[in-house]
């Protein structure tokens, strides 16, 4: 006697195969966790531009990029949930380590960046100068307050 296919395959096996199929479909449609890459994360100065590449965000979703809590960009991801955008480090960014945050109001990714302070920038600038330029700048830095003081003293005496 011929058994029907449904009798040869136990109902539990049928449910198991159906469940496995649903899991595989769900895995195939699952979206990868968002990732963010920044062209430079160390030694940034206020006013510097960095390239931000983001993937895995909501397709065509609103994207906001903030640096040190200050909005640097607002726009849309593409149909794949990706975005490539240059953003400027705000002039108000505090020296030290801070966050560059990319969010689509559902997902949020923080990247640690380091912003140099004004003294660090000055020291690097001095180090890159020729010896003669270093002498001229040093003389100017040392003697300018003295000249101002003498000028004020002379002005007060007259």
Structure tokens, 41 = 């994360």
Q: Evaluate whether residue 4 is within a structural domain.
A: yes
Residues 21, 44 within the same domain:
no
Full residue range of the structural domain in which residue 24 is found: 1-30
Residues 43, 10 within the same domain:
no
Give how many domains the chain has, as a whole number: 3
**pLDDT surpasses 60 at 22:** no
| Prediction pTM value | 0.60
Q: Evaluate whether residue 42 is within a structural domain.
A: yes
Task: Give tens-digit pLDDT for 53-93.
Answer: 999 999 999 999 999 999 999 999 999 999 999 999 998 98
Residues 67, 94 within the same domain:
yes
CB 55 within 8 A of CB 82: yes
Residues 133, 105 within the same domain:
no
Residues 21, 72 within the same domain:
no
Of 37-41, 64-68, 141-145, which gets the smallest average pLDDT? 141-145
Residues 25, 40 within the same domain:
no
Q: What is the pLDDT of residue 152?
A: 92
Q: Evaluate whether residue 121 is within a structural domain.
A: no
Task: Give tens-digit pLDDT for 103-112.
Answer: 998 999 999 9
Residues 41, 110 within the same domain:
yes
Residues 107, 147 within the same domain:
no
Percent of the chain with pLDDT over 90: 51
Q: What is the pLDDT of residue 138?
A: 81
Q: What is the pLDDT of residue 28?
A: 47
Q: Long-range contacts made by residues 56-61, C-beta under 8 angstroms, separation at least 24? A: 56/31, 56/32, 56/81, 56/82, 56/107, 57/81, 57/82, 57/83, 57/102, 57/104, 57/107, 58/104, 58/106, 58/107, 61/104, 61/105, 61/106
- Which position has the higher pLDDT, 60 or 119? 60
Residues 48, 101 within the same domain:
yes
């Amino acid at each position: 006697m011929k058994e029907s296919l449904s009798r040869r395959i136990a109902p539990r096996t049928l449910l198991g195969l159906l469940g496995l199929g649903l899991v595989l479909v769900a895995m195939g449609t699952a979206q990868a966790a968002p990732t963010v890459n920044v062209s430079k994360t160390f030694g940034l100065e206020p006013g510097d531009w960095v390239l931000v590449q983001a993937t895995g965000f909501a397709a065509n979703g609103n994207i906001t990029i903030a640096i040190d809590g200050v909005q640097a960009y607002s726009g849309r991801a593409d149909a794949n949930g990706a975005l490539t955008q240059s953003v400027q480090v705000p002039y108000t960014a505090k020296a030290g380590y801070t966050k560059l945050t990319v969010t689509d109001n559902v997902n949020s990714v923080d990247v640690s960046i380091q912003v140099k302070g004004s003294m660090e920038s000055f020291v690097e600038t001095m180090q890159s100068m020729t010896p003669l330029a270093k002498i001229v700048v040093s003389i100017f830095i040392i003697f300018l307050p003295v000249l101002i003081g003498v000028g004020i003293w002379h002005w007060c005496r007259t």
